Amino acid sequence: ALDMQQAILELRHEPDRVFAIRVGIHHGPVVAGVIGTSKFIYDLWGDTVNVASRMESSGAADRIQISAEMYKFLRGRYLCESRGEIEVKGKGLMQTYWLNARSPFHRYISEAERSQMQIRDPEPPSDSDCA
């Protein structure tokens, strides 16, 4: 999402181009599959997809809005800013965050390294965790 955001910013420097991007991200399980008999389409379904869509639609142009669940997953590796609670259609009030940048202290962990480590879910976020 950060790379897409950067690409849009670079396209704006071209004459007669007006671009904006709004991204929403959530973390959780999905169901995926191929549908169709003559024209195949790969799609994702589930509440995670619906919440991510709500994060996008309730976000702002040129911003990446993430759910509290996504923030817990990214905390420490990315710089986030609390947006506070917002009303999310079909969900009620949800705590959300703006994803602003990669943390300068983040080190990429490959899947091979991850499988050898015992990585557990991070603790719930506190107000002091927001950058």
91 a catalytic residue: no
Residue 36 Rama label (left phi>0; alpha psi -120 to 50; beta): left
Say which of 12, 89, 102, 114 is annotated catalytic: 89
Please pick, among 12, 22, 39, 54, the residue that the annotation labels catalytic.
54
Look at residue 25 and give its three-state secondary structure: strand
- CB contact at 8 A, 30 and 45: yes
Kindly list the distances between the CA atom of residue 129 and the CA atoms of 7, 49, 81, 95, 107, in Å, as whole numbers in the listed order: 28, 26, 9, 14, 18
Is 54 among the residues known to form the active site? yes
Token pair in block for residue 119? 């990585």
Q: How many CB atoms lie within 10 A of CB 102?
A: 13
Residues classed as catalytic: 54, 89
